[in-house]
A and B are shown apart, each in its own frame.
Chain A
Amino acid sequence: MTVFVDIGALDDIPRQGARLVKTAQGCVAVFRTADDRVFALDDRCPHKGGPLSEGIVHGDRVTCPLHNWVFDMNSGVAQGGDEGRVRTYAIKIQQGRILLDASLIRARNAA
């Protein structure tokens, strides 16, 4: 079973925007859509390492700011002609708080 950790309030992230969470295994981008769903993806485009958290969020897609690769935030899979995948993490909203997969905390111990 996934254990979750509270990382902040939903309102800390602008709609159609993102904020970063620093973890032992790198930065994770936490996105909020126009209809208040949240997604957590590695903040690193598989193409040239662009920070996805700075991309334009449209529907449940995000466009990498460096070279316009588009990712489906549900699966992390690159869309259109591009091939690649960004890792996604379990995330949910509970009473206005955002809860993220807590294994991201423990990773350093395991490593």
Chain B
Amino acid sequence: MKKKLVVIGAGMASGRMLEQIFEAAPDAYEVTLFNAEPRGNYNRLMLSPVLSGEKTYDDIVTHDADWYAAHGVDCRFGEPVVKIDRKNRVVYSNKGGAPYDALVIATGSAPFIIPVVGKDLPGVVAYRDLEDTQAMMATAGKDAVVIGGGLLGLEAAAGMAAQGARVTVIHLMGHLMERQLDPAAGYLLQKDLERRGITVHCKGATKAILGHDRAEAVLLEDGTVYPADLVCMAVGIRPETRIAVDAHLEVERGIVVDDALRTSDPHIFALGECVEHRKQLFGLVAPLYDQAKVLAKTLLGEAAEFVPVQTATKLKVTGCDLFSAGDFAEGPGREDIVFRDPGRGIYKRLVLEDNRIIGVVMYGETGDGSWFYGLMKEATDISDMRDTLIFGPAFQGGAALDPMAAVAALPLEAEICGCNGVSKGTILNAVAGGACTLDAMRACTKASASCGTCTGLVQQVMALALGGEVVEAAAGMCKCTDHSHDDVRRLIRTMGLKSIPAVMQELGWKTVGGCHSCRPALNYYLLAEYPLDYQDDRQSRFVNERNHANIQKDGTYSVVPRMWGGVTTPAELRAIADAAEKYNVPMVKVTGGQRIDLLGVRKEDLPHMWNDLNAAGMVSGAAYSKGLRTVKTCVGKEFCRVGTQDSTGLGIKLEKLMWGSWTPHKLKLGVSGCPRNCAEATCKDIGVVCVDSGYNISIGGAAGMEVKETVALASTPSEDEAIQIILAVTQLYRENARYLDRIWKWMGRVGLDWIKAQVVEDLENRQALVARFEISQSVYRHDPWAELSTPSETPKWGPLADLTLEAAE
């Protein structure tokens, strides 16, 4: 007599298991199959093509009614199982029972629904089954929001976009698919999605789903609201274990199984996304199919062990080509081989350990993914092919380091475009026939015209035929890049790069995350170029600029409030004195820049102290910044018997216009009321010396490691014009100089004559420079402490935890 096998869940894993059993021993079991969904086994991986309209449901059915009938399966579809009676070995659904000799639980997983207000509104779906997919297919012309920028969420987003919906993806983390991709590849993916009209909002935490009778909009913690006729939650899945928990089987995160996929009850087995095997959960299809094989053997009485292997991920979004496998975190003894081709949006990274590949991330061109994956699985020693490894299997065995040389070495019959069967020879012939652009090539040969993954290779072959030119590179700005400071600035401007990851990707940075030298430079270049768009990156700033105070050798800080033109009041002095006493400041010193320095302040006291100083009307003196420091003045004609102009007043005006601005290096100004020069203006970056006839402006002084006297830039009888020239030369310096060049150094590169031509002689240009400075200042003429000393920010200045207070055991 046949034994009775009951299976709960008609998914891909249990379906594959049944196939294996029926093939190996058709008469071993009489099978009853319960499924909560009112249908049998279909290929869930293919829901994305169904959603995007590339396939229909019928195309993705794995087992139809005929298949179940042919194998005598008693199909109980649309019947959720409510109870397992382990003692009598009977499974009960909402309609009736079924006895078993062996029971397989394959309940899969349930979507994780984030507990926000509005999660139960109609119009909020997950992306797990055909019903969800059908709801999403009806979004053409409507607004849809996908919460979750992982594999599933992005497939949902791309599918709805293909149906004609206006789609926004909200992702909690800093870049998309952070479990599979590193930030660089995540950036490329985001760019591709944005190109197809999908809005991507990273670092977005969902606060609520708004709507009366149904979902209407999604509100984020930062206050952003996105309209939404449909909200798809794709933030993750968790094993569906309720039936196993109720039956008192051993359940951790998933149903616990041994290597034979047996649960804590010897008659009950489990496989698929609902199980936990050696502390590991499974979500991708390859290990589930392995489990199906093993469980089929176990059920047929053969010894079999499930051994999980590493799996690779591919995103099923047409045109977004990515591949990720293994472990790509940095670690001790790990090395990276990185290939970037920014022009074509290609990024490949291999992570090596002990001369073996342990991780692969590829974006834009993934043709070699399976080859790398094979080397990884086999743990092949790659030392012999390391030089050319990143170029893939086609280029092994040679010493060619240059991908062009590798392409050149390919035989004429080598297939370049797999989709359309186009060989290297065909492409070369087409170039000879006049197809010199990619569009022309696609039009006449169809090479790279289908899936597009070979686009890079096609272009390389074309470049080979057309003869590419090799350009000598200037010295790189740091070890992370071969691009010079000037090149990086120019490319940021011409390519419209607006974030540090964008610069690193597009300009082919050789390190992950840059270094302490390039990050502050990039942060400056970006904020100078895009004052309105770019969000200053605090973590890319040197400690003093990050904490808005000067770190001292013992780790305490010094605090210098701004004193406009070196002028103060009794009230300000009183507030400073109060702060010094309240926070036990060990030293109060007068600085060379005509202000007062409070030395020895503890980091956690900084926001409190500034709260007090802000309340007294004072702002940070930026005594730490690559930015405007001080405007030193003498008393001028108001008091001085030899003063010629109101130097104090001009100094205050300049400081009030320029405070808060960031510059390539520190920027100190001085205004003296007569040629006796009490404000020492002629050793400042920009100096003004007043004379009877007006104002003499000079630039390029310094009194540090180098002592430099300023050189004359312009003279004017008008205070207003003097201010305009000073603002214009400051902006020119901001836009043009390399990071960490003082004005004198910059002047040495570009020449005083060029600077004069820009800001003194060309009036129109002067005005444009002043206007751009003012745009930037509309953002940065702003005291940082207003935001850094709020009740929510203040605790972040203290320690995260104090273990000295913990009770010792």
Determine if chain A interacts with chain B.
yes
- Residues of chain A whose beta carbon lies under 8 Å from any beta carbon of chain B: 5, 7-8, 12-17, 19-24, 27, 30, 33-37, 48-51, 54-61, 63, 65-66, 68, 70, 72, 74-75, 100, 104-106, 108-109
Smallest CB-CB separation from B511: which chain A residue?
A59
Min CB distance B238 to A, Å, is 12
**Distance of A59 Cα from B513 Cα, bound (Å):** 5
For the complex of A and B, the 8 pairs showing the least CB-CB separation, nearest first, are A63-B516, A19-B800, A7-B801, A16-B539, A74-B332, A65-B543, A54-B543, A56-B516
Q: A34-B183, A35-B329, A109-B808 are in contact. Are A57 and B539 (CB under 8 A)?
A: yes
Chain B residues closer than 8 Å to A74, beta-carbon distance: 330-332
Whether A54 lies near B547 (C-beta < 8 A) is yes
Whether B329 pairs with A105 at a CB distance below 8 angstroms is no
A109 vs B803: C-alpha distance in the bound complex, in angstroms?
13
In the docked arrangement, what's the CA distance between A50 and B173, Å?
31
Contact between chains at A21 and B553 (CB < 8 Å): no
**Can you identify 27 A-B contacts, CB atoms within 8 angstroms?**
A7-B800, A12-B796, A13-B800, A16-B540, A19-B796, A19-B800, A20-B800, A21-B799, A22-B799, A23-B803, A30-B800, A34-B512, A36-B173, A37-B329, A49-B554, A54-B551, A54-B555, A56-B516, A58-B511, A59-B511, A61-B515, A63-B516, A65-B551, A70-B515, A100-B801, A104-B803, A105-B806
Residues on A with C-beta less than 8 A from B174 are: 15, 34
A8→B472 CA distance, assembly (Å):
50
Contacts of A21 in B (CB 8 A): 799-803
Q: Which of A58, A70, A100 contacts B514 (CB 8 A)?
A: A58
Chain B residues closer than 8 Å to A65, beta-carbon distance: 542-543, 551
CB closest chain-A residue, reference B540:
A56
| Residues B497-546 near A (CB distance < 8 A) | 511-516, 519-520, 538-543, 546
B804 in contact (CB, < 8 A): yes
A15: B residues at CB distance < 8 A: 174, 539
B23 at the interface (CB under 8 A from A): no
Residue of A with least CB distance to B541: A56
Closest CB-CB distance, B741 to chain A, in whole Å? 19
- Residues in A with CB closer than 8 Å to B799 are 19-22, 27
- Closest CB in chain B relative to A110 CB, distance in Å: 9
Instruction: Indicate whether B178 reaches chain A with its CB closer than 8 angstroms.
Output: yes
Task: Report the separation of the CA atoms of residues A22 and B800 in the bound assembly, to the nearest whole angstrom.
Answer: 8
Whether A108 touches B802, Cβ cut-off 8 Å, given contacts A54-B551, A55-B543, A59-B330, is no
Q: For the complex, is B182 an interface residue (Cβ under 8 Å from A)?
A: yes
What interface size band does chain B fall in? 35 or more
Interface residues, chain B, with chain A CB atoms under 8 Å away? 173-174, 178, 182-183, 329-332, 511-516, 519-520, 538-543, 546-547, 551, 553-555, 796, 799-804, 806, 808-809
Cβ-closest chain B residue relative to A98: B800
CA distance A65 to B178 in the complex (A): 29
User: Which one of B514, B539, B542 has the greatest number of beta carbons of chain A within 10 Å?
Assistant: B539
A103, B543: Cα distance in complex, Å: 30
User: Contact: A22 with B802, CB < 8 Å?
Assistant: yes
Q: A36-B178, A56-B516 are in contact. Are A22 and B806 (CB under 8 A)?
A: no
Q: Taking each of B182, B519, B543, which has the highest tally of chain A beta carbons within 10 Å of its own beta carbon?
A: B543
Closest A residue to B205 by CB, please name it.
A11
**List of B residues within 8 angstroms of A12 by Cβ:** 796, 800
The smallest C-beta distance from B216 to any residue of chain A, in angstroms, reads 29
In-complex Cβ contact of A105 among B173, B551, B809 (8 A): B809
Q: Hey, which chain A residues are within 8 Å of B539, CB to CB?
A: 14-17, 56-57
* A2 → chain B closest CB, angstroms: 14
A22-B804, A55-B543 known; A60+B516 contact, CB < 8 A = no
Closest to A23 in B: B803
Q: Which residue of B lies closest to A60 (CB)?
A: B330
**Which of B520, B547, B551 has the most CB atoms of chain A within a 10 A radius of its CB?**
B551
* A12, A16, A50, A70, most chain B CB atoms within 10 A: A16
Give the chain B neighbours of A56 by CB distance below 8 A.
Answer: 515-516, 519-520, 539-542
Provide the residues of chain B in CB contact with A104, threshold 8 Å.
803
CB distance from B333 to the nearest CB of A (A): 8
User: Quick check: B803 and A7 within 8 Å, CB to CB?
Assistant: yes
> What residues on A are CB-neighbors of B555 within 8 Å?
49-51, 54
B538 touches A14 (CB 8 A): yes
**Which one of A16, A54, A66, A70 contacts B513 once the chains associate, using CB atoms below 8 Å?**
A16
Known: A16-B539, A36-B178, A105-B806; 15 extra A-B contacts, CB below 8 A, are A5-B803, A5-B806, A7-B800, A16-B540, A20-B799, A22-B804, A34-B513, A51-B555, A54-B555, A59-B511, A65-B542, A74-B330, A100-B801, A105-B809, A106-B808
Closest-by-CB residue of A relative to B203 is: A15
A12 and B484 alpha carbons, distance in the complex (Å): 36
Complexed CA–CA distance, A39 and B265 (Å): 41
Partner of A35, one of B178, B511, B802: B178
The residue in B182, B331, B541 that gathers the most chain A C-beta atoms within 10 A of its C-beta is: B331
Which chain B positions have C-beta within 8 A of A35? Answer: 178, 182-183, 329
Q: Which of B329, B330, B516 contacts A68 (CB 8 A)?
A: B516
Task: Evaluate contact between B553 and A48: CB separation under 8 angstroms.
Answer: yes
Q: Are A58 and B519 in contact (CB under 8 A)?
A: yes
> Chain A nearest CB: distance from B798 CB in Å?
8
Q: How far is the CA of A60 from the CA of B335 in the complex (A)?
A: 12
Beta-carbon contact of A58 and B803 below 8 Å: no
A51 proximity list for chain B (CB < 8 A) = 551, 555
Q: State in angstroms the CA–CA spacing of A20 and B801 once bound together.
A: 7
**Which A residues lie within 8 Å of B330 (CB)?**
33, 37, 59-60, 74
| A58 x B800 contact (CB < 8 A) | no
| Residues from chain A with Cβ under 8 Å of B514 in the complex | 58
Chain B residues, CB < 8 A from A75: 332
How far apart are the CA atoms of A106 and B807 in the complex, in Å? 9
- Please, how many angstroms separate the alpha-carbon atoms of A72 and B174 in the complex? 23
The answer to whether A59 and B512 touch across the interface, beta carbons within 8 angstroms, is yes
Given contacts A7-B800, A34-B183, contact A105 B808 (CB under 8 A): yes
Most buried by B among A35, A51, A61: A35
Question: How near does chain A come to B535, taking the closest CB pair, in angstroms?
Answer: 13
Q: Most chain-B Cβ atoms within 10 A of its Cβ — which of A14, A23, A56, A68? A: A56
User: Within the assembled complex, what's the spacing in Å between the Cα atoms of A22 and B803?
Assistant: 6
* Closest-CB distance, A34 to chain B (whole angstroms): 6
In the complex, chain B residues whose CB is within 8 Å of the CB of A66: 551, 553
* Residues of chain A lying within 8 A (CB to CB) of residue B331: 60, 74
Q: What's the Cα separation between A58 and B567 when bound, in Å?
A: 42
Q: Are B516 and A55 in contact (CB-based, < 8 A)?
A: yes
Question: Is A105 touching B516 in the complex (CB atoms < 8 A)?
Answer: no
Give the Cβ gap from B386 to chain A, nearest Cβ, in Å. 21
Closest beta carbon of chain A to B507's beta carbon, Å: 16
| A8 B806 Cβ-Cβ under 8 A | no
B808 and A108 contact, CB distance less than 8 A = yes
Considering only CB atoms, which chain A residue lies closest to B557 in the complex?
A54
A44 CB, nearest partner CB in chain B, Å? 9
CB distance from B542 to the nearest CB of A (A): 7
A43 to B: closest C-beta gap in Å: 8
Which residues of A sit under 8 angstroms from B803, Cβ to Cβ? 5, 7, 21-24, 100, 104-105
Please, how many angstroms separate the alpha-carbon atoms of A79 and B86 in the complex?
61
